[in-house]
Amino acid sequence: MGEGAERRVARWGAAVAVLAMGGALVAGGVAATAGTAPAEAPATGSARSAGAGGSPVAVPLTLPAPTGRHQVGAVALHLIDRQRRDPWGGGTPGHRYREVMVGVRYPAGAGAGRYPRAAQLTPREAAAFDRMNSFSEHVPPGKVAWQATRTAARTGAPVAPRRPGQRLPVVLYSPGAGDPRGFGSTLCDELASRGYVVVTLDHTYEAPAVEFPGGRVARSVMPAEVAKARQAGRMTELLRKVSAVRVADTRFVLDELGGRRGASPLPRGLRGALNLRAVGMFGQSAGGFTAAQTLHDDRRIRAAANLDGVMGYTQRDDDPSNPSTVGRDGVDRPLLLMGMDGDTHHTVASWGAVWEHSRGRDGAWLRDLTLRGSRHATYTDAETLIPQIARQLGLSPAEVTKMIGSVRPARAVAAQRAYLSAFFDRWLRGRGDGGLLDRPSARYPEIRFVP
């Protein structure tokens, strides 16, 4: 397949298909809840040398520190939607309703450094991700200590003090198909360090594994779903269902944050601290589609950013068939599109549909930005982690480029942080950005504005 055609393989449809590697529901393990004891957790897994059996060198991977003025705190929430049976038919007796795990990142106050760093993935989630991820062509299972990565956030740290009456804007994050919520930690921690409360969602039975309090682990059912859909010729219907479940998960989390049932699930320091009139959303791949579709469906979302996600029920980027409602209707609020090199509203059919049908609508504001030299995974923590893995495993520069592109990782991360922060600052806080979102900037020559 040529490079141009390869770019047009559907980002999220293909990612769902990647999950056709196995999945089940198991029990046991360590709870995936936030601890509160102010003690430092080990920053790494236990290092061990490669042995005769090819065991990995468990060298911990690191993520870049946030640049905002706040330290970052983290808590995990287990939410149960008792109005909705699990749409994937998963669960064990007593767990028939839809359950989601949510991570909350927030500006932390003094003393946050005494609390343990939050893991990017729990050990059981890391083990599942090791077996089911989109890098397996170059990174075989058992070679990376995914469980050793720690984020910048401090588990259970106190919330930063606020002025009387001050409330914090909220940003939701949805990961790509097959990715855990922790794989967007760099951007989520960055926004929290700049004063946002960032709420990250795991879409249960779609992510490789989601660990609940008490150690129960829900593993992906997508392998069986993909196999059935392919056999029956119903992949479009499966993609519709994946999207609908994701949007329903997001709207349920919004309901819970608003205390719809009379009680907030947030820890005491965050109750009453959220400005639910200033809510944005972003995501990568299928998560970007989720953000845009939720913007269309739910007026509580004021602005959304789609990081290289197709917005239609198709397995090819250039296929205009089976559009979503956000594609058919467009949007009437701000939407930021950030694509990998080659993905624009001129080449991705669903982006073009949203662009065309948003034109002239009151409140619509669209930007289409390309990060030169980027690939699909550039918009995840892979941009920082893959070069470290390459050094450990001796991967070639060509292999690294195939996974995350040719843009320098530090520059890619800096550009994403700058434009995503400017976008939410403008539309959730009413702050100026010096024209960063209006015209090319010499500070970020990697960013191209697509007319």
In the predicted structure, residue 209 carries a pLDDT above the cut 60: yes
- What are 424-433's pLDDT values in tens digits? 999 999 999 9
Which pLDDT value is given to residue 393? 95
- Average pLDDT estimate for 404-419: 98
In the predicted structure, residue 265 carries a pLDDT above the cut 90: no
Percentage, residues of the chain above pLDDT 90: 78
Which pLDDT value is given to residue 92? 57
Three-state SS for 439?
coil
Q: Where are the alpha helices (DSSP H) in 58-170?
A: 123-131
Average pLDDT, the chain: 88
- What are 40-76's pLDDT values in tens digits? 333 333 333 343 344 445 578 999 999 999 999 999 9
Please work out, in degrees rounded to the nearest 5, the angle formed at the alpha carbon of residue 146 by the alpha carbons of 205 and 376.
70
Kindly state the helix (H) or strand (E) to which residue 250 belongs, with its residue range.
helix 235-257
198's CB contacts (< 8 A; 6+ apart) are: 104, 105, 106, 170, 171, 172, 173, 188, 189, 191, 192
Rounded to the nearest 10°, the torsion over CA 225, 228, 231, 236 is -50
- Average pLDDT estimate for 253-262: 84
Three-state SS for 131?
helix
Look at 153-157, 163-167, 185-189, 231-235 and tell me which has the smallest mean pLDDT.
163-167
Query: What is the DSSP secondary-structure string of 147-212?
Result: GG-EEEEEETPPBPP--TT--EEEEEEEPPTT--GGGGHHHHHHHHHTT-EEEEE--TTTSSEEEP
48's CB contacts (< 8 A; 6+ apart) are: 55, 57, 58
- Average pLDDT estimate for 235-257: 97
> What is the rounded CA–CA span in Å between residue 247 and residue 256?
14
295's CB contacts (< 8 A; 6+ apart) are: 281, 301, 303, 304, 326, 331, 333, 335
Which pLDDT value is given to residue 259? 81
> What is the rounded CA–CA span in Å between residue 370 and residue 361?
24
Cβ–Cβ under 8 Å, residues 284 and 309: yes
Of the candidates 180, 21, 42, the residue with the CA atom closest to the CA atom of residue 103: 180
Q: Which residues pair with 79 in a beta bridge?
A: 100
420's CB contacts (< 8 A; 6+ apart) are: 187, 190, 191, 282, 305, 336, 338
- Average pLDDT estimate for 308-324: 93
Q: Strand order in 71-85's β-sheet?
A: 117-119, 150-155, 71-85, 97-108, 197-201, 168-174, 274-284, 301-307, 334-339, 365-371, 447-449
Name residue 141's amino acid.
P
Which pLDDT value is given to residue 269? 87
Name residue 23's amino acid.
G
Q: Which tokens belong to 149?
A: 């990565």
Which pLDDT value is given to residue 260? 67
Cβ–Cβ under 8 Å, residues 100 and 76: no
Three-state SS for 26?
strand
- Average pLDDT estimate for 133-150: 93
Three-state SS for 355?
helix
Name residue 211's amino acid.
E
Backbone angles phi, psi at 106, to 5 degrees: -155, 160
> What is the rounded CA–CA span in Å between residue 346 and residue 249?
31
Q: Do strands 197-201 and 97-108 pair parallel, antiparallel, or not at all (unpaired)? A: antiparallel
In the predicted structure, residue 211 carries a pLDDT above the cut 90: yes
Binned at pLDDT 50, 70 and 90, residue 18 comes out as: very low
Q: DSSP letter at 380?
A: S
Which pLDDT value is given to residue 96? 87
